[in-house]
Amino acid sequence: MDNVSFHKRQDIQSAIQKAGLILEYLPTYSPDMNPIEHKWAQAKALRRRRQCDIDTLFSEPLF
């Protein structure tokens, strides 16, 4: 689970455990486990190669 505050409430934790599930939390910030971080890295690299602003980058075909 992510670290959003309502996931840590006692009633939520109890309901999850009562259902026979095990809680496992992600590290506070884990870019390697977040696919969007990889896509943003690719977009930023493409933006640097094309030397354009972010609006232009996403308004033109990427390839």
Q: Which two tokens stand for residue 60?
A: 């033109």
Q: What is the pLDDT of residue 18?
A: 95
Bigger pLDDT: 38 or 60?
38
**Which pLDDT tens digit goes with each residue over 4-51?**
776 678 898 899 899 999 888 777 777 787 888 888 888 889 888 888
Query: Three-state SS for 17?
Result: helix
- Report if pTM > 0.75: no
Contact indicator for 26, 2 with CB cutoff of 8 Å: yes
